[in-house]
Structure 1
Amino acid sequence: MRRWLPLSFRLLLLGALVVFLFWPYSFEPLLKPLVQQNAPAVYNQGSLLALTVQHLVTVLAATAAATVVAIALAVLVTRPFGAEFLPLSRSLVNIGQTFPPVAVLALAVPVFGFGEKPTLIALFLYGLLPIFENTLTGLTNLPRPVMEAARGMGMTGFQRLLRIELPLALPVILAGIRLSAVISLATATIGSTVAAKTLGEVIIAGLQSNNLAFVVQGGLIVGALAVLIYDMLSALEARISATMQAAHG
């Protein structure tokens, strides 16, 4: 059963998002009923396109950093010399889940100041766990016959890791990255409370001015991005899984 959306729906959602970001005032008639008299229906305190791009850049940077660190830790603890570090690694990657992002922001602002850095730190910590656990699962559940064949061919541990283990575990790793990215995409909105440039600005502006249209705009853009990114990564994960099955089937 397919886990991703039909192509027609994807294109429709992507098209609507692009149109709204480049020509937001074309949606003004739909948003007008959500505002009080004389209140602006379309967010007018900045560029929606610029905020969306910055939001995505922040999420991408945090997810990329979390991916590198989480995979490196998972590889370390699945090697014989690093197995003893598994409890410590689990404790480290659980920090982001133990402390909510708001608490991390509150702790990071006095050290790093207002802006992007506290948000990146919060998203990085929050995104470690799913990637680490999925990578760990992928690397510890590899087909035994394949691993024995690789050893029989005289491959070194590093060669097995790069050529066999990571490629076979890639679909499971991608599932963790997908979850981490979607969580970060939604969580990044709180970065605007510490002056980071994210779509949270639109939502906060709507709450402060009692403008439901602003809140809806910010929420819908984040929601559409989350659906599209989740769908894209799900399709990529399924394609890689099918390729792996065909190669080893």
Structure 2
Amino acid sequence: MRPAMLIRLALLALLVAFIVTPETFAPVFQPFTKNGAPAIYTQTSLLSLTLSHLAIVAVATVAATLFSVGLAIIVTRPFGVEFLPLSRSIANIGQTFPPVAVLALAVPMFGFGPIPTLIALFLYGLLPIFENALTGLTNLPGNVSEAARGVGMTGRQRLTQVEFPLALPVILAGVRLSVVISLATATIGSTVAAKTLGEVIIAGLLSNNTAFVLQGGLVVGVLALLIHDAFVMFERSIARRTGRLY
């Protein structure tokens, strides 16, 4: 087994151990506390916060992926080419309005809880997935597309059996970027009562407890690293199967 894989497995084991039994790691974080403050955040279970954080990111990413890939498919068909400028404007909405602004606009309409955070993450994740899907679907080898037409494939068959499988590694790269961004951005959801790891970070900032801030930040950072690497391996595996290794 390669050293890089061993490091990832060790990080995963440490992460699981920490979120399941955080009290075990109290001596590690004790030096970062002041005036006898607790070293481990216990207001809410770290395990439940982590699972809730991942669930919010997963739901927002799946929704953004379905919307963005669907939009990219439409504008790469002959009947939808004219909608490309409009689709780019839609995908750019999330980058135009910062997540904090989206939360501020969504809370009056949907109230406190996870929904404003889901909306913010959905909008913020559109652009990287859409642009990668567009790139993947428009930069296919010309001879492959011509061969598919030559054997009599319909437009739907070309899309599902040729174009989409070949574009999938590039699309997944966009999903990976969106997930990593969302993992970090989701922490602000705790400001509107969404259950995320931002709760630990905010508690640390309010109480001037660096240990709490480190705990929330490290869990989010390690999650982002592990999920990023898992996506990279998955992308390369699919790319090898399709002959488009990059």
TM-score of Structure 1 vs Structure 2, range by shorter chain: over 0.9
Q: Deviations over 1:23-59 (max 9, x none)?
A: 1111111100000132100001110000000000000
2:169 counterpart (168, 171, 187): 171
Q: Which residue of 1 aligns with 2:34?
A: 36
Match for 2:6: what amino acid?
S
Distance in 2, matches of 1:233 and 1:184, equals: 15
Give runs of ≥4 in structure 1 deviating > 3 Å: none
C-alpha displacement of 1:5: 7.8
* Structure 2: 5+ residue stretches without partners: none
Stretches of structure 1 that go unaligned for 5 or more consecutive residues are none
From 208, 224, 244, the equivalent of 2:242 is 244
Show the counterpart of 1:108.
Answer: 106
- Given that residues 5 and 231 in structure 1 are in contact (C-alpha distance below 8 angstroms), is that contact kept between their aligned partners in structure 2? no
In structure 2, distance between residues paired with 1:23 and 1:197: 19
TM-score normalized with structure 2 length: 0.97
Letter in 1 for 2:117: T
Distance in 1 (CA, whole Å) between partners of 2:203 and 2:91 is 33
Query: Residues 211-249 of structure 1, C-alpha deviation per residue, up to 9 Å, x if partnerless?
Result: 000000000000000000000000101111111118x9x
Whole-angstrom distance in 1 between the partners of 2:3 and 2:48 = 27
The answer to whether the aligner puts 1:207 opposite 2:205 as a matched pair is yes
Matches within 5 A, 1:1-249: 6-245=4-243
The Cα offsets for residues 61-108 of structure 1, whole Å up to 9 and x where unpaired, read as 000000000000000000000001101000001000000000000000
Identity %: 67
Scaled by the length of structure 1, the TM-score of the pair is 0.96
CA shift, 1:155, in A, is: 0.4
Larger relative contact order (Cα-Cα within 8 Å, sequence gap ≥ 6): 1
- CA RMSD of the aligned region, Å? 1.3
Q: In structure 2, how many angstroms separate the alpha carbons of the residues matched to 1:93 and 1:183?
A: 15
Q: Secondary structure at the match of 1:6?
A: helix
**Aligned amino acid, residue 242 of structure 1:** R
